[in-house]
Amino acid sequence: MNRYQITIEGQTFDVRLLSDPRQEEVQVEVDGAVMTAHVRAPQPGGEEDAEAAVTRDTTMPTQAPAARPLRGPQTSTIARNAVTAPLPGVIKSIAVSPGQQVSSGDQLLIIEAMKMDNIIRASRDGTIETIHVSEGHQVAYGEQLLEYAKP
């Protein structure tokens, strides 16, 4: 993915794009912390081009951890009972709900990537505790999708 050094109010951040910058929400890694940036295109007739608007509107606080962190492999908040995205893509459908019992091999959700459906299956028996994504949500590799209840 693309890497940038962005200086905001005299402080320089090492920024790496983890998802498609044309989306409304973009996953970025800022100085090692993974977070979501909201992107909006410039207004028609404005003096700046779209790339400048993305740089300006991926508002990074002066302290990176204050932004909303993702549940991705770079953060320390991944639960041991978590199911993470094996590839980046868009959540096409979710086949389970919180409280539902699943068996090893059951379909949990589908991630669409490069126009292909990738079925994510349960790796073990258990009960679904929390679902962290919704249909249409863009996910990055390693992002936490759902959690099993603790046994």
Query: Tokens 């709900």 belong to which residue?
Result: 97
HSE, side-chain direction, 13 A CA sphere, residue 73: 11
Give the Cα separation of 107 and 120 in Å (integer): 6
Residue at 74 is within a domain: no
Same domain, residue pair 87 and 55: no
Does a structural domain hold residue 72? Answer: no
What is the pLDDT, as a whole number, of residue 6? 79
Question: In whole angstroms, what is the distance from residue 123 CA to residue 61 CA?
Answer: 38
Weakest-pLDDT range from 21-30, 85-94, 122-131: 21-30
Residue 53 lies in a domain: yes
pLDDT, residue 44, reads: 61
Same domain assignment for residues 123 and 95: yes
Q: Which of 18-22, 60-64, 86-90, 97-101 has the lowest mean pLDDT?
A: 60-64
Answer whether residue 75 is part of any domain.
no
Residues 88 and 142 in one domain: yes
pLDDT for 16 equals: 79
Instruction: Give the DSSP letter of residue 29.
Output: E
CB-facing half-sphere around the CA of 7: CA atoms within 13 A? 2
The residue with greater pLDDT, 78 or 147, is 147
Question: How far apart are alpha carbons 94 and 108 in whole angstroms?
Answer: 6
For residues 86 and 23, the model is more confident at: 86
Is the overall model pTM greater than 0.75, yes or no? no
Q: How confident is the model at residue 79 (pLDDT cuts 50, 70, 90)?
A: low
**C-alpha–C-alpha distance, residues 139 and 35, integer Å:** 12
The boundaries of the domain holding residue 38 are 3-66
Same domain, 10 and 49: yes
Q: What is the mean pLDDT of residues 55-81?
A: 45
Q: Judge if 90 and 134 occupy the same domain.
A: yes
